[in-house]
Amino acid sequence: MAKRSRDKNGLSIIIVGCGKVGSTLVEQLSQEGNDITVVDKDRNVVHTLCNTYDVMGVVGNGASYNIQIDAGIEKADLMIAVTDSDELNLLCCVIAKQVGNCATIARVRTPDYSSEAGYIREKLGLTMIINPEYEAAKEAARILYLPSALEVNSFAHGQAEMIRFRIPQNNILDGMTIAYLGGTFTTKVLICAVERAGQVYIPSGAFRLAHGDMISFVASQETVKTFLKDIGFDIKQVSSTMIIGGGKSSYYLAKQLLHSGIRVKIIEKDAEKCEELSDMLPNAVIINEDGSNEDVLKEEGIAYTDSFVPLTGIDEENILLTLYARQVSDAKVITKINRISFNNVINSLDLGSVIYPRYITSEAIIAYVRAKRDSMGSNIETLYHLFDHRVEAIEFRVDRDSEVTDTPVMNLNLKRDLLIAFINRNGHILIPSGRDCIKNGDSVMIVTTHTGFNDITDILRED
């Protein structure tokens, strides 16, 4: 199959493993003008990806020297290993470093390896180790610490947060313009995206909020709760949670919640897994039962738990359990979805907060790829896709003077549908006014409906 020539700034990338995460990476990285070659033992999977996207494919073991040579490792810029085996991923990256001297990213999910990730990355010379289950658990924990939010994203090394929630009827924000909100509340926040009736807006000061709107706002970490309290939301973290399924995500989530003083009950039908969890999480309550059984859920107190998180390996089961919990409980619910892509159907269901581990993984890798493509001195620190990938929130580190630095924000010729959400200056989060300037050494977060930004200067119009 003939393949298009990559963009002049595109990278040559080899992706080993064509499962959920690998396929998501192929979809997104190929759209951004990178030269992609996929490697997998499953011939049918490789052929499907090659026929669907403009990529090359090699069938075989990605840890094989000969297979990597066939895939073009000697000229590759980046190797991404995301097979189901941690050991195979690490071996792929070690061989790639020796043969091609390229950057390497490995997916490593096992708790034993996860606790040693820094050591492994340093000793093996890896660029990045990514753990989807651990990252998904971190996202779930952030939501349970602030259950009135549907989504909590962290920026500036935890100093700033982006919070998503729906405006309820008769809320103080109903009917308020963005400009009036900014002049009414002493807490400095920025409403950076609004979804209404299926449309997403980057709001101006004249935009008027309404009940039912899904909004995302940015604030410093210490002021988030103050703002939510001011607009009438409960800001207490949950005191208990019920987790269905005893896999890796459950372990990572339970460990974080227990550390924060939250009571944890895990229901898992496999007796051997229960024994392992009991040893690893001595302060959790581990129940050896079928968590999809209605009677078991009632007996274990689903009606009284503060939060409910189904983390089975089956998306459909997670969704059904969430819908059941909505009927019988007032618990905060979080739904993990790995594969299902029927976004319109999912969005029409009352699933509470929805977490997609494959997107969490791909966003971290895409942020690295975009930063590596850029040679102008500013790098992407963090990237999130919002509202079904219709909005990007990108945090840039500014490492040089340019046309965006030392100029008041109001004088910058910014692209439409774009907001500068915050400036992080030496750990202080600044919600910028028109008179504030971006300076060399800052990190800056922008929110936009545009895609593919690689550098902070991309925020400017070209005319």
Same domain, 370 and 334: no
Residue pointed to by tokens 């951004």: 32
Six-digit token string for 166: 């729906």
Same domain, 343 and 453: no
Q: Any idea what the CATH number is for the domain that residue 120 is in?
A: 3.40.50.720
Vertex 212, ends 208 and 215: CA angle to 5°?
A: 65
Which tokens sit at 314? 């089956």
Q: Could you give the CA distance from residue 200 to residue 196 in angstroms, rounded to a whole number?
A: 6
Q: Indicate if 262 and 311 belong to the same structural domain.
A: yes
Report d(CA 175, CA 420) in Å as an integer.
24
Question: At 68, which amino acid appears?
Answer: Q
Residues 430 and 347 in one domain: no
Tell me if residue 443 falls in helix, strand or coil.
strand
Final residue of a domain: which of 130, 165, 199? 130
Residues 351, 377 share a domain: no
Q: Which two tokens stand for residue 398?
A: 């500014």
Angle ∠(371,374,380) on CA atoms, nearest 5: 30
**Domain end among 130, 145, 179:** 130
Q: Enter the tokens of residue 106.
A: 């490995």
Domain, as residue range, for 261: 240-355
Q: For residue 26, what are its two tokens?
A: 């192929």
Which value, to the nearest 10 degrees, does the dihedral of the CA atoms of residues 206, 155, 336, 391 take? 40
Indicate the pTM of the whole model. 0.87
Question: What is the DSSP secondary structure assignment for residue 5, as one 8-state letter?
Answer: P
Burial 337-348 (b: 16+ CB within 10 A, else e): bbeeeeeeebee
For residues 268 and 374, membership in a common domain is answered with no
* Residue 386, domain member (yes or no): yes
Q: Are residues 340 and 372 in the same domain?
A: no
Q: 305 Cβ partners below 8 Å, 6+ apart?
A: 240, 241, 242, 265, 329, 331
Asked whether residue 370 falls in the same domain as residue 347, the answer is no
> Cα(first)–Cα(last) distance of the chain, in Å?
39
Residue 16 falls within a domain, yes or no? yes
Alpha-helix runs per DSSP H in 271-408:
271-280, 294-299, 315-328, 343-348, 357-373
**Looking at the structure, do residues 319 and 380 belong to the same domain, yes or no?**
no
Q: Which pLDDT does position 4 carry in this prediction?
A: 44
253 CB-near residues (< 8 Å, 6+ apart): 137, 140, 141, 243, 309, 311
Q: Provide the pLDDT for residue 398.
A: 92
Residue 217 domain flag: no
Q: Please identify, among 130, 154, 184, the residue that sits at the C-terminal boundary of a domain.
A: 130
pLDDT for res 1:
39
Domain contains 219: no
The number of folded domains in the chain is 3
Residues 347 and 413 in one domain: no
Q: Each residue's pLDDT tens digit in the chain (463 positions)? A: 344 445 556 899 999 999 988 998 999 899 888 999 999 999 999 999 999 999 999 999 999 999 999 999 999 999 999 999 999 999 999 999 988 889 999 999 888 887 788 888 888 889 899 998 898 999 999 999 999 999 999 998 889 999 999 999 999 999 999 999 988 888 889 999 999 988 999 999 999 999 999 999 999 998 999 999 999 998 899 999 999 999 999 999 999 999 999 999 999 999 999 999 999 999 999 999 999 999 999 999 999 999 999 999 899 999 999 999 999 999 999 999 987 666 667 777 778 899 988 888 888 888 888 877 765 445 788 888 888 889 999 999 998 899 999 999 999 999 999 999 999 999 999 999 899 999 999 999 999 999 888 889 999 998 6
Amino acid at 67: I
- Residue 418 belongs to domain with CATH number: 3.30.70.1450
157 located within any domain: no
Strand pairing of 190-196 and 214-220? antiparallel
Same domain, 345 and 394: no
The per-residue pLDDT for 214 is 94
54 and 103 share one domain: yes
Evaluate whether residue 442 is within a structural domain: yes
